[in-house]
């Protein structure tokens, strides 16, 4: 793995600064086909909230949030139940006041026009994923986020892309903040305060656990602060431009604390802002005082999607198989390392994001027709062949 990949993987870990989850043995698997099914499920989904050492009902929690201008709801990115909790809170806040914006970590600020086009119905979901480079930049299963975005589109609610450009955070992670050009630096908040106190200690622990001696801690911590400060600045920008609106913010739990990270950065810019912070936690997870409220939740999973079983390498106008998983669907079908995937069921594949987008539409056991260009061993130009593959 090259240094850039190591740093990128390490930076992704600091979005998960909460304690290790203790998941129930039994997980409920759900498959919501549309927003109506999600809403029907949420009508009976009433998690208990914790305020300090006291349990309160979800309706009481929402009553307490009624006068908060901005509510931060943390998430573990790959937990569907956490995203269901986010939508549950969004629905309740929307019913309290229809003037509400949704700030999300999942998209970077430069893609705001594309999100606006999706919400306006000008592009479809596949175009949203492709044009925001979703599966290369965020990578988590989009099905977990789909209900929130569909709710926003159905109710004509703004969704604000909060995050900093990955090109800049990657560069800072490798070379430091001073490596940015003047034009690059202008894309980030003018003031980026350093991490301090218990927040800094958490970052040191994550770095020590996962860096394995690669990279510099100062750059690592600076990237975290760039994420925090950029998201805070975009939140403030929305609130100042929409004085009658509230905002609900969905971001990784590591960015949501009552005393640090994004909420603290927002308060520094808007000292009189009324806010609240919430995390979802498992019943058996140790409770903490880092947020105002916690929602006791239970693990929900989505049905698995079909898998090829291959490590992928970017290529021009396609994706190349770097390594095959033994006995995987691709291996059993006779594909080879070095084969270039160009299409799935007639849909052209230009990058790994396209491949993930189309594969997510199929379940294990379903057949797909895969277009592949294979180099000729005799030195002839690559030729395209088609494979019928049963996904695993």
CA distances from 97 to 3, 67, 313 (A): 47, 10, 47
Name the residue with higher pLDDT: 383 or 288: 383
Residue 354 has φ and ψ, to the nearest 5°, of -60, -40
Measure the CA–CA gap between 376 and 346, rounded to whole angstroms.
Answer: 23
| Burial class of residue 12, CB neighbours in 10 A (0-12, 13-18, 19+) | middle
Average confidence (pLDDT) over 109-123: 98
Residue-wise DSSP of 252-264: EGGGB-SSSHHHH
Q: State yes or no: pLDDT of 122 exceeds 70.
A: yes
Give the SS3 label for residue 80. Answer: helix
Tokens matching residue 93: 């806040």
Closest by alpha carbon to 16, among 206, 209, 285?
206
* 286 pLDDT more than 70: no
Long-range contacts (CB closer than 8 Å, 24 or more residues apart) made by 374-382: 374/336, 374/338, 374/339, 374/340, 375/338, 382/340
How far is CA 272 from each of CA 243, 255, 297, rounded to the nearest angstrom? 13, 21, 32
The confidence score (pLDDT) of residue 2 equals 37
Delimit the CATH 2.30.42.10 region(s) of the chain: 310-390
3-class DSSP assignment, residue 140: coil
User: CATH 3.40.50.11550 spans which residues of the chain?
Assistant: 3-301
Q: What kind of fold does domain 310-390 have according to CATH?
A: Pdz3 Domain (2.30.42)
Please list, in sequence order, all residues whose beta carbon lies within 8 angstroms of the beta carbon of residue 176, skipping any fewer than 6 positions away.
216, 218, 219, 222
Nearest alpha carbon to residue 132 among 119, 229, 144: 119
pLDDT tens, residue by residue, 144-180: 999 999 999 999 999 999 999 999 999 999 999 999 9
pLDDT at residue 211 in the model? 64
d(C-alpha 276, C-alpha 126), whole Å: 34
3-27 per-position pLDDT tens digit:
334 334 444 433 333 223 333 445 7
pLDDT tens readout for residues 212-244? 555 699 999 999 999 999 999 999 999 999 999
Mean pLDDT of the chain, nearest integer: 90
**What pLDDT is stored for residue 9 in this prediction?**
42
Q: Is the pTM of this model over 0.85?
A: yes
Q: Which CATH class is domain 3-301?
A: alpha beta
- Contact between 234 and 112 under an 8 Å Cβ cutoff? The reply is no
Element (H, E) at 92: helix 80-96
């Amino acid at each position: 793995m090259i240094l850039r990949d190591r740093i990128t993987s390490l930076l992704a870990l600091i979005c998960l600064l909460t304690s290790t989850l203790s998941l129930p043995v039994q997980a409920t698997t759900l498959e919501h086909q549309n927003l109506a099914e999600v809403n029907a499920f949420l009508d009976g989904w009433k998690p208990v909230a914790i305020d300090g050492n006291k349990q309160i009902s979800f309706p009481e929690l929402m009553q307490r949030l009624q006068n908060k201008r901005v509510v931060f709801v943390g998430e573990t990115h790959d937990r569907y139940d956490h995203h269901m909790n986010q939508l549950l809170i969004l629905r309740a806040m929307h019913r309290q006041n229809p003037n509400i914006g949704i700030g999300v970590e999942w998209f970077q600020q430069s893609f705001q026009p594309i999100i606006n086009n999706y919400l306006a119905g000008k592009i479809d979901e596949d175009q949203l994923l492709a044009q925001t480079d979703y599966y290369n930049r965020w990578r988590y299963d989009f099905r977990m986020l789909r209900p929130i975005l569909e709710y926003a589109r159905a109710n004509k609610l703004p969704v604000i892309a909060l995050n900093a450009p990955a090109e800049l955070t990657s560069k800072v992670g490798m070379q430091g903040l001073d490596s940015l050009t003047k034009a690059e630096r202008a894309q980030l908040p003018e003031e980026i305060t350093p991490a301090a106190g218990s927040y800094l200690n958490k970052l040191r622990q994550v770095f020590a656990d996962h860096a394995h001696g690669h990279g510099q801690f100062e750059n690592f911590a600076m990237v975290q602060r760039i994420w925090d400060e950029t998201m805070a600045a975009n939140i403030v920008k929305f609130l100042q431009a929409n004085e009658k609106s509230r905002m609900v913010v969905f971001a990784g739990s590591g960015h949501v604390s009552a005393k640090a990270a994004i909420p603290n950065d927002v308060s520094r810019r808007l000292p009189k802002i009324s806010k609240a912070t919430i995390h979802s936690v498992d019943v058996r997870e140790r409770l903490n005082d880092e947020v105002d409220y916690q929602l006791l939740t239970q693990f929900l999973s989505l049905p698995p999607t079909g898998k090829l079983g291959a490590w992928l390498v970017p290529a021009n106008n396609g994706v190349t198989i770097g390594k095959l998983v033994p006995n995987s669907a691709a291996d059993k079908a006779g594909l080879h390392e070095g084969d270039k995937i160009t299409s799935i069921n007639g849909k052209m594949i230009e990058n790994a994001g396209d491949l993930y987008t189309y594969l997510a539409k199929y379940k294990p056991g379903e057949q797909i027709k895969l277009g592949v260009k294979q180099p000729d061993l005799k030195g002839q130009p690559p030729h395209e062949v088609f494979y019928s593959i049963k996904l695993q």
